[in-house]
Structure 1
Amino acid sequence: MTLTRRAALGVAAASLAAPAVRAQTARFPERPVELVVGFAAGGGTDITIRTFARFLEPRLGGPVVVINRPGAGGEVMMASVARARPDGHTLGVVTMPGLLTIPIERTAQFRLEDFAAVALIATDPNAMTVHAQSPYRTVQELIEAARREPDRLNFASSGIGSDDHLQLVLLQQAAGIRMTHVTYPGSAQVRSALLGRQVDVVGMNVGEIMGAPENMRMLVQAGPARSRFAPQVPTFRELGLPIEMASDRGVVAPAATPPAVLARLREAFGAAAQDPEFARALEAQFTEVRYIPGEAWGEQLRALRESYRALWERAPWRER
């Protein structure tokens, strides 16, 4: 077989590139790997990833640091990671569904195609919670109050298009009610607003509430079934409301990350996420491991994006 000059040059280039790729992978990581969180410290995502970092470090063989870069419901972080040098040392900690919903609701500084999925590692269902001294003891009472006086009740979340917010969007659509949506930089600030009686009801995750339930009353949870951490609290579906929403927490890398480095990351993340000690550590935080490897999670993200686009067509959540 005779090679053309162009083909021969291609073979030569590939031969030269292969040792460089292998050398790059062998050296990785060359410096601390940064896990960048798009919310303020102290929230569920922040706590989960700081725990995970302890299990990831020995698998990567180098230091792992967590950095908080809050703003615009996670967009500030995701935009910075999308623009980061694609060498595997800067990774984004994403909380679903913001990765998908932000580019749907506005002209965003990033798109799903700007990232390569590394792994989904944990999940925590949403819930609606009031102050312990609130007059509302059930979600049905809350709905009735919102029907009587539209927009009077204040609902707090960690951002427009966040999982906390979208459960409100779905409830308003299903029950025909309206509340006033108020945003905060993260779950810690949402909690403070509720405990300070500045808002009537908040969207937080089950794990975030159960970790510090003092002076809080969880009315309903948004998982497909009752969480084992809050078995006394009904789900929306039990009450006849077709609502499911959770904070799925995973990690992405810049899209141009070299395949060998991405494979190394995925291997390390898989080993750490499936460590029984990690599962026990999350259990102590009232959170469940949900490991999906990178390629499979990437396919799931693309399918989910279509479902959120359909929701946007029915109920544009920036208006709700």
Structure 2
Amino acid sequence: MNRCIRPLCKTAMGVLLAYAAATAGAAQAQSQESGAWKPGKGEFIVPAGPGGALDTSARMIAHLLQVKKLYPNLVVVNNPGGNMTIALNALDRHKGDGNYVATSVSSLMNQEILGKLNHKFADYTEIATLFDEYVAVVVRADSPYKNIHELIAKFKAAPDALNVGVATSIGNHIHVGIASPLKEAGVNISKMTVVPYKSSSESMTALQGGHLDVVAATTPNLVGLMQSGAIRVLAIGAPERLSAPFDTVPTWVEEGINVVPSSAQGVLGPKNMPKEQLEVWVQMLKTITATKEWKDFLAKNHWREHFLEPEQSREYRAQEYKNIHAVLTELGLVKQ
């Protein structure tokens, strides 16, 4: 018979609840002390639409975290628009919660410097820098410019004579990726005619159609057209030559212009992210970036591995900020 004297039942239940609460509290305190934070259901916020470089890398990170059983419930969420404001607004709704992270990308600093972003990049938690991507300078295969020095000579003589296509906005990392070495070469970059396109695929189409003379674009957008012989790549802003099909293309440094424009991708945490959550994220990213699948992914896109932990990332981004600010000021895009 399942009977209970009510006062005794109440007392027993109270003891059990108190014990459970105390046990849970002790477990939570122990977890916090040991830094043993475990990810729950989370989101990887991408400040761009599906299919591009930012989306592709975020999905690979999420995929590898799931394969390694490090973060089974991480979903990639695309939040494009608003000069990346929409993505950061989404991250701001989860301050101090490591289950919500976003793509860390150099263009966030560009938008901040340009005054188009009502957020400070430095207020967020740098988790890690993962890799560098490179901007190339491209002309049609039948272009009169056979090498970068011929193009530089034309820009010096008449900076506004050629139409230069970039994606996706004036003053972004791709614009800076062509402007910074040209500035070093003595070109008046503030007078250049730069035309923004919604995507690099659109700017490359405009180049082939004769609507543009030059395009600046990142390497994943160029492989097919280069292999087909439709375009000529004059220079790449990398520290050393890339693998085929770009192994025949000189770097700016090789051409005597000592500039390596930086454009790094990584993972950004929310504001006030606790130390124990940050440490878990760093370890997870170290694990997946050591895999063959990740290294093959970088090689396929002609990206260079560049893993930096939080403190190193902050120092690197601070230097990037100074360099970007200098070029955007020279372009006349920074409000005085």
Q: Same fold (TM over 0.5)?
A: yes
Please say if residues 132 and 304 of structure 2, whose CA atoms lie closer than 8 Å, have aligned partners that are also in contact. yes
Q: Distance in 1 between matches of 2:139 and 2:31?
A: 55
In the TM superposition, residue 105 of structure 1 has moved relative to its aligned partner by 2.4
Query: Are 1:115 and 2:118 counterparts?
Result: no
Aligned residues between the structures: 302
With structure 2 as the length reference, what TM-score do the two structures score?
0.77
Q: 1:83 and 1:165, CA in 2 relative to 1: closer, same or farther beyond 3 A?
A: farther
Counterpart AA for 1:252: L
- Alpha-carbon displacement from aligned partner over 1:28-64 (angstroms, at most 9, x marks no partner): 4322x32222233333333233223221223533133
In the TM superposition, residue 165 of structure 1 has moved relative to its aligned partner by 0.7
Q: 1:311 and 1:29, CA in 2 relative to 1: closer, same or farther beyond 3 A?
A: same
- Specify which of 42, 55, 61 is matched with residue 46 of structure 1: 55
In the TM superposition, residue 301 of structure 1 has moved relative to its aligned partner by 1.7
Q: 1:38 and 1:130, CA in 2 relative to 1: closer, same or farther beyond 3 A?
A: farther
Q: Distance in 1 between matches of 2:59 and 2:224?
A: 16
Please say if residues 157 and 183 of structure 1, whose CA atoms lie closer than 8 Å, have aligned partners that are also in contact. yes
% identical aligned pairs:
25
RMSD: 3.0
Query: Are 1:231 and 2:247 counterparts?
Result: yes
Secondary structure of the residue that 1:181 maps to in structure 2? strand
Query: Are 1:203 and 2:219 counterparts?
Result: no
Query: 2:147 is matched with which residue?
Result: 138
Q: 1:39 and 1:191, CA in 2 relative to 1: closer, same or farther beyond 3 A?
A: farther
Q: How does 1:74-85 map to 2 (within 5 A)?
A: 74-85=84-95
Counterpart AA for 1:65: V
Q: Distance in 2 between matches of 1:291 and 1:265?
A: 13
Please say if residues 119 and 251 of structure 1, whose CA atoms lie closer than 8 Å, have aligned partners that are also in contact. yes
Q: Distance in 1 between matches of 2:86 and 2:143?
A: 35
Counterpart AA for 1:265: W
Query: Are 1:60 and 2:75 counterparts?
Result: no
Q: Distance in 1 between matches of 2:283 and 2:202?
A: 35
Q: Distance in 2 between matches of 1:192 and 1:279?
A: 30
Q: 1:196 and 1:94, CA in 2 relative to 1: closer, same or farther beyond 3 A?
A: farther
Query: Are 1:221 and 2:226 counterparts?
Result: no
Please say if residues 37 and 276 of structure 2, whose CA atoms lie closer than 8 Å, have aligned partners that are also in contact. no
Counterpart AA for 2:203: V
Counterpart AA for 1:290: H
Secondary structure of the residue that 1:237 maps to in structure 2? coil
Query: Are 1:156 and 2:165 counterparts?
Result: yes
Query: Are 1:90 and 2:106 counterparts?
Result: no
Q: Give ranges in structure 2 of 5+ residues lacking alignment.
A: 1-24
With structure 1 as the length reference, what TM-score do the two structures score?
0.81
- Specify which of 252, 275, 292 is matched with residue 259 of structure 1: 275
In the TM superposition, residue 253 of structure 1 has moved relative to its aligned partner by 0.8
- Specify which of 321, 324, 335 is matched with residue 305 of structure 1: 321
Q: 1:18 and 1:63, CA in 2 relative to 1: closer, same or farther beyond 3 A?
A: closer
Between stretches 137-146 and 18-27, larger displacement belongs to 18-27
In the TM superposition, residue 271 of structure 1 has moved relative to its aligned partner by 0.9
Q: 1:312 and 1:262, CA in 2 relative to 1: closer, same or farther beyond 3 A?
A: same
- Highest Rg: 1 or 2? 2
Please say if residues 75 and 102 of structure 1, whose CA atoms lie closer than 8 Å, have aligned partners that are also in contact. no
Please say if residues 119 and 270 of structure 1, whose CA atoms lie closer than 8 Å, have aligned partners that are also in contact. no
Please say if residues 241 and 251 of structure 2, whose CA atoms lie closer than 8 Å, have aligned partners that are also in contact. yes
